[in-house]
């Protein structure tokens, strides 16, 4: 079967619908996401599209590209749908949604070019349901958009590589696409994008001892296109920040992560390999099972290309001190294609007894993760909220039989059928989590509940919330840019100076300090409501009271 545009469009539509699940009801999912959303919202309200800020502090971590995309999405939603949409989460997640919609068909196309349409479709399915990809595609962070950019320039590299194999010229638009994608990547994430961008051709050069195909990308003038994308903003931010952006973004953020673990994320080499079992689930076991076949076929040009994409990137991020699972996400499409090739094209090599034992142990771990993934939503919802969701119950009834079938088929050596069952289990489990579980976990929805209470009782249109005990960025995004994150004594002083339009959010354990500090000024407060829950970022249970001057 030959894949046509309609097939790729249908694949994109399926991805779009799966990634759409629960998006409107999901609260900010981690600390980074509300920082991106708040900084993008502040771009619109301030009109400053050069200097990225979170409240009054510069956010000099990466260039402005992702913030431009999210701000544009929010502005379109504001113009055509709802003027009050800037304090809602979903508009800022649209770039990730659209990126995911394009990533899966593009992976299918690359797999088809390398190994045929069946492999392309299998690779697209493995990537589409992988845990890390699904999680990132639901969030307003940079990683899904960055993955699309990486896929674009890897696709241009693949085109030049296959043109050399066929001994046909590579069109100039392909070369332009490669360098423009690199420039866009620099605007998204800075020099990090050069690791896969130059790592793949350098690795191929090292393996093949042949760099003639590199000239097909017109490097003698192509780099000017790359710089043309990023240099104007670089000049503008250097002027505005007086050089501070580059000292922070390059010196502290980029090089600092190489030398030592930042934000308690310093971990030894091997971390990404260890978490791969969960991050690429359910494809992780099939990727492990593919290793003997990949080794056997390592001299094939297609395999060399994909390994040159994966290995340099993976090694670099295993070696740097700071580690987060999404750092190796740009390698997942290549891993999915190789895994799919082992399921659809290559025969299963004979394994040694030790190899069988190692894969058996990994398969046991994979099965445990899968079963836990199937039941986690039901258990989490009951344990935290003491409720049982019918929709999650239906998801559980759908996932467990499929997971059981996948394990049974694996034991019978029917790997392809097992992969289909595991992917089906993943789709149903993920839908249950995003549609039935996460929206009903009120215990961890502290910021949305506090923001709703604040909105109900605030005395002025421009009221300010002062939070003494809960300092999550999600609260700033939902309650407003002017939200103050202070200690209890500083909050009391702020309330004294601004009594008319200020409300204070104080945890039970800080109330004595807060009220004693107010007592020194003769001010008393009245409580307007309480919000109890779990701060999932640090595991602290909070009992927050909202106070205003009496």
DSSP 8-state symbol, 348: P
Token pair of 332, please?
A: 């997942």
Distance, CA of 151 to CA of 106 (rounded, Å): 7
pLDDT value of position 315: 94
Indicate the range of 96-100, 155-159, 277-281, 487-491 predicted with least confidence: 487-491
Q: How many Å is the Cα radius of gyration of the chain?
A: 25
Residue bearing the bigger pLDDT, 430 or 264? 430
Are 410 and 363 within 8 A, CB to CB?
yes
Helix axes 65-80, 32-46, angle to 10 degrees: 70
Cα distances (angstroms) measured from residue 33 to each of 185, 204, 412, 517, 538? 19, 36, 43, 34, 16
Task: Name the residue among 382, 283, 369, 267 with its Cα closest to residue 325.
Answer: 267
**β-pair partners for 464:** 502
Residues with Cβ < 8 Å from 458, sequence gap 6 or more? 465, 501, 503
| pLDDT tens-digit readout, 15-65 | 999 998 877 778 887 788 999 999 999 999 999 999 999 988 888 888 999
Distance, CA of 89 to CA of 74 (rounded, Å): 9
443-549 CATH fold: D-Maltodextrin-Binding Protein; domain 2 (3.40.190)
Residue bearing the bigger pLDDT, 253 or 222? 222
Distance, CA of 41 to CA of 70 (rounded, Å): 8
Specify which of 153-157, 356-360, 541-545 reaches the highest per-range mean pLDDT.
153-157
Q: Is 14 exposed, middle or buried (0-12, 13-18, 19+ CB in 10 A)?
A: middle
* Domain regions of the chain by residue span: 5-344, 353-440, 443-549
Cα distances (angstroms) measured from residue 442 to each of 241, 308, 432, 532? 41, 45, 16, 9
Are 449 and 472 within 8 A, CB to CB?
no
Helix (H) or strand (E) holding 548: strand 540-549
| pLDDT tens-digit readout, 203-246 | 999 998 888 888 999 999 999 999 999 999 999 999 998 888 88
Q: What percent of the chain has pLDDT over 90?
A: 63
Calculate the average pLDDT of the chain: 90
Are 191 and 254 within 8 A, CB to CB?
yes
Task: Name the residue among 279, 271, 338 with its Cα closest to residue 143.
Answer: 279
Task: Name the residue among 313, 329, 319, 324 with its Cα closest to residue 268.
Answer: 319
pLDDT value of position 261: 47
Say how many C-beta atoms besides its own lie within 10 A of residue 192's C-beta: 21
- HEC profile of 139-166: CCCCHHHHHHHHHHHHHHHHHHHHHHHH
Distance, CA of 96 to CA of 66 (rounded, Å): 10
What band does 74 get if pLDDT is binned at 50, 70 and 90?
A: very high
Cα angle value 110/116/120 (rounded, 5°): 50
| pLDDT tens-digit readout, 399-457 | 999 999 999 999 999 999 999 999 999 999 999 988 888 888 888 888 999 999 999 98
Cα distances (angstroms) measured from residue 418 to each of 61, 194, 244, 343, 488? 42, 37, 53, 10, 56
pLDDT value of position 251: 62
Length of the chain: 550
- For residues 88-108, give the mean pLDDT: 96
Residues with Cβ < 8 Å from 353, sequence gap 6 or more? none
Distance, CA of 206 to CA of 200 (rounded, Å): 10
């Amino acid at each position: 079967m030959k894949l046509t545009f309609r097939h790729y469009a249908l694949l994109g539509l399926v991805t779009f619908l799966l990634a759409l699940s629960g998006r409107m009801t999901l609260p900010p999912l981690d600390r980074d996401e509300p920082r991106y959303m708040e900084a993008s919202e502040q771009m619109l309200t301030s009109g400053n599209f050069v200097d990225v800020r979170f409240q009054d502090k510069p956010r000099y971590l990466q260039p402005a590209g992702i913030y431009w995309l999210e701000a544009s999405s929010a502005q379109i939603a504001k113009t055509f749908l709802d003027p009050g949409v800037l304090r809602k989460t979903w508009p800022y997640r649209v770039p990730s949604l659209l990126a995911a919609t394009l990533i899966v068909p593009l992976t299918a196309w690359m797999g088809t070019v390398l190994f045929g349409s069946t492999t392309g479709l299998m690779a697209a399915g493995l990537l589409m349901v992988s845990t890390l990809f699904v999680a990132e595609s639901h969030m307003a962070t940079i990683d899904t958009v960055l993955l699309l950019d990486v896929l674009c320039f890897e696709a241009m590299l693949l085109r030049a590589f296959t043109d050399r194999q066929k001994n046909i010229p590579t069109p100039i638009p392909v070369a332009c696409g490669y360098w423009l994608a690199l420039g866009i990547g620099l605007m998204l994430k800075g020099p990090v994008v050069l690791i896969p961008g130059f790592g793949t051709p350098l690795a191929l050069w090292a393996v093949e001892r042949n760099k003639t195909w590199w000239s097909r990308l017109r490097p003698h003038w192509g780099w000017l296109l790359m710089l043309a994308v990023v240099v104007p903003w670089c000049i503008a931010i250097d002027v505005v920040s007086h050089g501070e952006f580059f000292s922070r973004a390059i010196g502290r953020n980029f090089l600092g992560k190489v030398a030592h673990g930042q934000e308690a994320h310093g971990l030894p080499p091997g971390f990404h390999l260890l978490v791969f079992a969960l991050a690429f689930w359910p494809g992780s076991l099939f990727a492990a099972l593919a290793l003997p076949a990949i080794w056997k076929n390592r001299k094939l040009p297609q395999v060399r290309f994909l390994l040159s994409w994966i290995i340099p990137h993976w090694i670099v991020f295993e070696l740097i001190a700071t580690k987060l699972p999404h750092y190796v996400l740009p390698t997942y499409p290549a891993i999915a294609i190789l895994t799919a090739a082992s399921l659809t094209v290559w025969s299963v090599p004979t394994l040694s007894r030790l190899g069988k034992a190692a894969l058996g142990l990994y398969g046991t771990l994979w099965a445990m993760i899968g079963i836990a993934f199937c039941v986690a939503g039901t258990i989490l919802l009951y344990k935290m909220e003491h409720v049982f969701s019918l929709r999650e119950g239906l998801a559980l009834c759908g996932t467990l039989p499929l997971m059981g079938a996948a394990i049974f088929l694996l034991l019978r050596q029917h790997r392809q059928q097992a992969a289909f069952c595991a992917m089906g289990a993943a789709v149903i489990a993920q839908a249950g989590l995003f549609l039935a579980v996460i929206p009903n976990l009120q215990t961890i929805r502290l910021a949305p509940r506090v923001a709703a209470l604040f909105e109900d009782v605030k005395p002025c249109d421009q009221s300010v919330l002062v939070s003494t005990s809960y300092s999550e960025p999600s609260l700033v995004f939902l309650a407003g840019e002017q939200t103050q994150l202070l200690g209890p004594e500083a909050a009391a002083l702020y309330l004294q100076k601004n009594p008319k339009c200020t409300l204070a959010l104080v945890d039970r354990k800080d109330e004595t300090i807060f009220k004693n500090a107010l007592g020194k000024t003769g001010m008393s407060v009245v409580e307007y409501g309480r919000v109890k829950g779990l701060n999932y970022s640090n595991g602290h249970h909070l009992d927050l009271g909202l106070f205003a001057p009496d």
